[in-house]
Structure 1
Amino acid sequence: MISEPFSQGQSLLHRMDARIKILSMGLCLTSVSAVQGHAAALSALLFGAGLVFIARLQISSVLLRLAPANIFFLVLGLVLGLTYPGESLDYFSRLSHDGLSLALRIFLKGNALLLIFMALACTSSVPVLAQALQGLGLPRKLTLLLAFTFRQIFLVIEEFQRLHRTVLARGFHPRCTLHTYQTYAVLFGQTLIRSLARAERIHSAMLLRGFSGHFRPLFAPPWNRADVYPALGLCVPPLLISLHDRWPW
């Protein structure tokens, strides 16, 4: 998500006000997190996939970013199946039926939450999200921390790549040896030290240019009432799913 591959687009979700998207996302994630049944979790997953379709996100990129989480869910399902108390399966006596059922629910809800987050949050850039969070009343220090962390990540990666090219130019060849581990430990340490020094220079340059502790946006968009109705429409399905799961009718 660091390279913001989903922030550029012309879909309805890309054009929607980031503040409204954040509020809608909070309600959707809360509703999906509260479901307990498998049918409700599957419905939430289909809702998340629908949001991804509305946002016109590239399916291969979405699946690529879901892969690490699903690997974790697979390992978690194996652990729960072997350790969770309950009735065993007929054909696999060592696997717990209740453990696998819990793992399946975690898998469905986890993927649904990730899809909703990608469709609503990742369709806006990090600076826009930071400005939107500040507009919603989040403490200014937290929004600055988000903005500067996002910027500093690129500087840390750039510094590490520069140092790595330096050691490669001096004949270093990575191997599974103690010398290789020591070399990479020194690289990481030097990267942190140089990144800290660079961050101090950036802060001094910002102060020199009149930085007073908060950013002044060139354009502060007003609340757009036209975005409220689609946002409310997005919140209705997960809310109905959660209510039906808790109180079936």
Structure 2
Amino acid sequence: MSLGTNDCAVPPHFAGILAIDMRNDDDFDRKFEDLLRHIYGQPALQRPPLGSPPAFLGGDLISNATTTSVRLAHLEIEHWELESGVVMNELYPDTFEIPNDASRRNLQIGDFVKAAFKYSYPPGSDEEDGGGERMWIKITGTNGPYYIGTLSNDPVCTDTWHDLSFDSTIVFLPEHVISIDRGGEDAAQAEEHDQMVTSVIEGFIAEFSIEGADIDDVKFVLGSLERAQNRNPEKDHEAIWQEVHDRVNIEHVNMQIACSIWMSAHEHD
């Protein structure tokens, strides 16, 4: 800036942008040097390198931090995205529990976290948009506010369309974490339990030749029943079923499958 006042010499759309005042001839050489340094990215005062993290931070997660550009997956580009566990908890506080904020913001390398994946499908597909599943992610580092991890499950979606498979890199935020497993044992046990539940549901559907069933919806209802039972262990199973039935909005056929499996599993309790 060589002429005019601050109010009229700087265009409004440049407000907030660095400006160098060159109106004083006595300071011209120094200001011109400042201009060249900013153009070529060579400031007169260099920022010192970042030191080692303090011992109480552990160090592992910080030392594996990166600064390359990353972003969250988007439904319109990758055809999948992560659902916010925080939002789901606010919408369904009685049935959708998540770890507290401090736990979700202080994860370490090697921790496993569960996130909810949402899918879209190509035109003409038999699958409906909005479906998804919950899977485990192993944390490998950070990048700014983001956690970086690798997928620890085999997704049900098609890898040719979604580009998502076992060991895929996943970028996520604390708000996407819906469960935490510090040692990895819970993830392995959960995967084994999930496979067992899936097998039971598939067997039930095949035995009674049921059409139009959605295994993920049935698993969701069964999970809601388990959580309701854990909150009220003294409540009888029929009352638990009625509580979940009145709260969960799932197609009738899937509700009935879940009810039959639930009652059968507890008929001798």
Q: TM above 0.5, one fold?
A: no
Q: Flag the structure with larger Rg.
A: 2
Q: Which structure shows the higher helix fraction?
A: 1
